[in-house]
Structure 1
Amino acid sequence: MQSHALEMAHVAATARTGLGRFNLYAGIHKALRAFMADTLLTVGRTDPTDGAELARTVAQVVELMALCANHVAHENGFVHPALEARCPGACARVAQEHDGHLHHIQHLSDAAQALPGCDADEREAGLHALYLALALFVADNLQHMHTEETAHNAALWAAYTDAELVDVHNALVATIPPAEMMLVMRWMLPNLNAPERLGVMQEMRAGAPAPVFEGMLDATRGMLNAHNAMKLARGLGLPPVPGLATV
């Protein structure tokens, strides 16, 4: 109990230290946590006797695994070199974990894609095995992201200005293809808090073509409850959406 309390105190101290600092990890990690949690629950409730339902679940698992692999590549290509440049050795442990994650990602993707080809009497066992393996993957990644958001952020904030971190972020984002970005936004925007969500949309309005912003705004509203959709409209200085409650 004491060690747990000390750990929580350390997390709180790190969070306070980073208040107001640019956070490379916060948004994408919220998206990944939400996507992982939803996919795990989806696998757990999938009917192994329903071919169409199974196919949708397999597609979601494969999509999640592809996004996780891309996320590893993005961090390896941009965040880790930035850390190593000014904090040598800071990401050695996480880099090793990334190698393990890539192995698990391939295994889970292959296992999911094999399910529809299994005999009907083997699908239930295969689906349950996938559920258990995915649960361990999610648990491992939750701990992994915690390390990045505490230890790595502390190192980044000590070694870089916010302007420099924004440059790293922008260089990374510039390499993400539109389809991947749309998937990230699908899981990120509804799972950010209201000020974070507003900030993302304000940046998009300032930097993206108007049709792109309008399309993302419409999609985002469709993913939010009425209360949060109203907050977003108000923050952007837009009129309320007809039919939405104003509470």
Structure 2
Amino acid sequence: MNSTPATPRVDLYAPIHKALRSMMMETLHAAGRVDVHDATDLHDLCERVLALSVACASHMRHENDFIHPALEMRAPGTSRYAACEHTQQRAAIVGLHEAAARLGTACPATQRAACAQDLYRKLCIFTAENLDHMLAEEVEHNPVLWACYSDSELQALQGRILAATPPAENLAMLRWMIPALPPTERAETLAALRASASVPVFTATLHAVQPHLSGKDWAKLGDALAPARKVA
């Protein structure tokens, strides 16, 4: 089956996966350059790792609770391998939590460099495995979803996922997702949010996103969303 349809289809994977990839790479970069002699630097890194762990665990639950059942309902067996990998990922997330906690609170000063290296290596493995896992979902699961479900059904499924996501968690993920999208998709996503969310929620999203866009990209977004540009 074709993982790149000739006519654009509702894609439940690509936007959130772009957000997670961006989050993973920035966290990995932060771990690689952390100053183990700077308490603030160490604290910030540990907070990044914990936030990444929470985001990945939440995304995995959404796939387990919503997408996998949809796949199994109309294409039994399709999600079996991904579900097995999710079990392994849960253990990896626990390992990241433990490594971050050890570096942040339980690691003697003389062992901080070793603890930081251990965390960095765990992040390397976690990132590599998740990049492979997410790509497999996009190229293997999407064609099944597109063959078995209409776009309106996929949009309804996406709506159920969003309804199950706490507002603060959704805002935190939009902070990563919006900058990770190309300009057209970025504007479309925010236009849809503006149409469905309250003004305070939309404004909060713009404020969360703006620091992570270049001046050029922010201007493009403002032009696409006019007159919403003035909200921020």
C-alpha RMSD of the superposition = 1.5
Query: Bigger shift: 175-184 or 25-34?
Result: 175-184
TM-superposition CA deviations, 1:205-243 (whole Å, max 9, x none): 1011112212222332332111111111111123877xx
Does structure 1 residue 102 correspond to structure 2 residue 90?
yes
**Structure 2 residue corresponding to 1:201, chosen from 190, 194, 201:** 190
Does structure 1 residue 80 correspond to structure 2 residue 68?
yes
Output the CA distance in 1 between the equivalents of 2:36 and 2:7.
46
Output the CA distance in 2 between the equivalents of 1:220 and 1:60.
17
> TM-score if structure 1 supplies the norm length?
0.89
Output the CA distance in 2 between the equivalents of 1:239 and 1:157.
33
Does structure 1 residue 210 correspond to structure 2 residue 206?
no
Runs of 4+ in structure 1 deviating by more than 3 angstroms, as ranges, are none
Does structure 1 residue 182 correspond to structure 2 residue 171?
yes
Asked whether the equivalents of residues 18 and 157 of structure 1 are also in contact (C-alpha less than 8 Å), the reply is: no
Output the CA distance in 1 between the equivalents of 2:160 and 2:18.
20
What corresponds to 2:99 in structure 1?
Answer: 111
What corresponds to 1:236 in structure 2?
Answer: 225
Q: 1:240 to 1:169 in 2, by over 3 A?
A: closer
**Structure 2 residue corresponding to 1:44, chosen from 19, 32, 39:** 32
Output the CA distance in 2 between the equivalents of 1:209 and 1:217.
13
Q: 1:166 to 1:239 in 2, by over 3 A?
A: closer
What corresponds to 2:21 in structure 1?
Answer: 33
Identity among equivalent pairs (%):
40
Output the CA distance in 2 between the equivalents of 1:75 and 1:106.
19
**Rg larger for:** 1
**SS of equivalent to 2:3:** helix
Asked whether the equivalents of residues 99 and 118 of structure 2 are also in contact (C-alpha less than 8 Å), the reply is: no
* Structure 2 residue identity aligned to 1:27: P
Output the CA distance in 2 between the equivalents of 1:107 and 1:239.
43
What corresponds to 1:153 in structure 2?
Answer: 142
Output the CA distance in 2 between the equivalents of 1:159 and 1:175.
23
Instruction: Give the C-alpha shift of residue 51 in structure 1.
Output: 1.4
Asked whether the equivalents of residues 189 and 197 of structure 1 are also in contact (C-alpha less than 8 Å), the reply is: yes
Q: How many residues align?
A: 229
**SS of equivalent to 1:14:** coil
Q: 1:27 to 1:139 in 2, by over 3 A?
A: same
TM-superposition CA deviations, 1:144-164 (whole Å, max 9, x none): 000110100010000000000
**Structure 2 residue corresponding to 1:58, chosen from 26, 43, 46:** 46
Output the CA distance in 2 between the equivalents of 1:78 and 1:18.
26
TM-superposition CA deviations, 1:40-61 (whole Å, max 9, x none): 0001100111112101101110
**SS of equivalent to 2:128:** helix
**SS of equivalent to 1:20:** coil
Asked whether the equivalents of residues 27 and 192 of structure 1 are also in contact (C-alpha less than 8 Å), the reply is: yes
Output the CA distance in 2 between the equivalents of 1:237 and 1:126.
49
Asked whether the equivalents of residues 103 and 116 of structure 2 are also in contact (C-alpha less than 8 Å), the reply is: yes
